[in-house]
Amino acid sequence: MLRQITLIGVGLIGGSLVLDLKRHKQVQTVYGIDLDSENLNRALERHVIDRAFGEICAEAISSADWVVVATPVATLPSICAKLATWLPEHAIVSDVGSTKVSAIEAFRQHLPRHFARCVASHPIAGSDRSGALAAQFALYQNKKLILCPHEQQDSACLNTVAKLWQSVGAHTHIMPADEHDEIFAAVSHLPHLLAFAYVHQMLDHPKGAHYLDFAGSGFRDFTRIAASNPEMWADIMLANQSSMLDLIAAQQNQLAYLSGCLKSGNKAALRDYFQAAKQIREDWGDKQ
Ligand SMILES: NC(=O)c1ccc[n+]([C@@H]2O[C@H](COP(=O)([O-])OP(=O)(O)OC[C@H]3O[C@@H](n4cnc5c(N)ncnc54)[C@H](O)[C@@H]3O)[C@@H](O)[C@H]2O)c1
Ligand SMILES: O=C(O)C(=O)C[C@]1(C(=O)O)C=C[C@@H](O)C=C1
Q: From the CA of 187, give the closest atom in ligand 2.
A: 9
Best of 124, 128, 148, 194 to mutate for ligand 2, by most ligand atoms within 8 A of CB?
A: 124
Give the pLDDT of the chain (288 residues) as one tens digit per residue: 999 999 999 999 999 999 999 999 999 999 999 999 999 999 999 999 999 999 999 999 999 999 999 999 999 999 999 999 999 999 999 999 999 999 999 999 999 999 999 999 999 999 999 999 999 999 999 999 999 999 999 999 999 999 999 999 999 999 999 999 999 999 999 999 999 999 999 999 999 999 999 999 999 999 999 999 999 999 999 999 999 999 999 999 999 999 999 999 999 999 999 999 999 999 999 999
Query: How much is the pLDDT for 124?
Result: 98
Residues 167 and 184 in one domain: no
Give the residue, out of 225, 235, 243, 288, with the most ligand 2 atoms within 8 A of its beta carbon, to mutate for a pocket test: 225
Ligand that lies nearest to the alpha carbon of residue 239, given by its number in the listed order: 1
Q: Which atom of ligand 2 is nearest to the CA of 225?
A: 3
Q: Do 106 and 202 belong to one domain? A: no
Ligand 2 binding pocket, CB closer than 6 Å: 98, 124, 126-128, 188, 225, 228
Looking at residue 116, its pLDDT comes to: 98
Do 14 and 142 sit in the same domain of this protein? yes
Helix (H, G, I), strand (E, B) or coil at 134: helix
Atom of ligand 2 nearest to the CA of 191: 9
Contact 18, 27 (CB under 8 A): yes
Does an H or E element contain 227, and which?
A: none
Domain containing 147 — which CATH number?
3.40.50.720
Same-domain status, 117 and 188 = no
What pLDDT shows up at residue 35? 98
Q: Are residues 201 and 144 in the same domain?
A: no
Same domain? 94 vs 9: yes
Could you give the number of structural domains in the chain? 2
The ligand 1 atom nearest the CA atom of 123 = 6
Ligand 1 center to residue 118 CA distance, Å? Answer: 18
Give me the pLDDT at residue 213, please. 98
For ligand 2, atom 5: residue with the closest CA: 127
Domain boundary among 175, 207, 242: 175
Identify the domain containing residue 209 by its residue range: 179-287
Give the pLDDT confidence score for residue 34 in this predicted structure: 98
Q: What's this model's pTM, rounded to 2 decimal places?
A: 0.97
Same domain assignment for residues 106 and 210: no
How much is the CA Rg of the chain, to the nearest whole Å? 21
141 and 190 housed in the same domain: no
Please name the residue whose Cα sits nearest to atom 3 of ligand 1.
126
Give the Å distance between the CA of 263 and the centre of ligand 1: 44
CA 145 to ligand 1 center in whole angstroms: 16
Domain limit, last residue, from 175, 204, 230: 175
- Looking at the structure, tell me whether residues 210 and 241 fall in a common domain: yes
- Same domain membership, residue 219 and residue 160: no
For residue 16, the ligand 1 atom closest to its alpha carbon is 16
Protein residue with least CA distance to atom 3, ligand 2: 127
- CB under 8 Å to 139, separation ≥6 — which residues? 12, 13, 16, 17, 20, 123, 125, 126
**What pLDDT score does 54 carry?**
98
Alpha helices, H only, the chain: 12-23, 37-45, 58-61, 76-83, 101-110, 155-167, 177-184, 190-204, 208-212, 217-223, 230-239, 241-263, 267-287
- Please measure the distance between the N-terminal and C-terminal CA atoms of the chain and give it in whole angstroms: 32
Query: Among 164, 179, 191, 29, which Cα is nearest to 94's?
Result: 164
Closest CA to 145 of 165, 119, 159, 130: 165
**In this structure, what CATH number is given to the domain that contains residue 276?**
1.10.3660.10
Question: Do 131 and 266 belong to one domain?
Answer: no
Question: 94 φ, ψ to 5°?
Answer: -135, 160
Q: What is the model's pLDDT at position 129?
A: 94
Ligand 1 atom closest to the Cα of residue 135 is 20
Per-residue pLDDT at 16: 98
Which residues, other chains included, contact 41 with Cβ-Cβ below 8 Å and sequence gap of 6+?
52
Same domain, 48 and 191: no
At 101 the pLDDT is 98
Please name which ligand lies nearest the alpha carbon of 184: 2
Q: Considering every ligand atom, which ligand is closest to the CA of 196?
A: 2
pLDDT at 175: 98
SS3 state at 125: coil
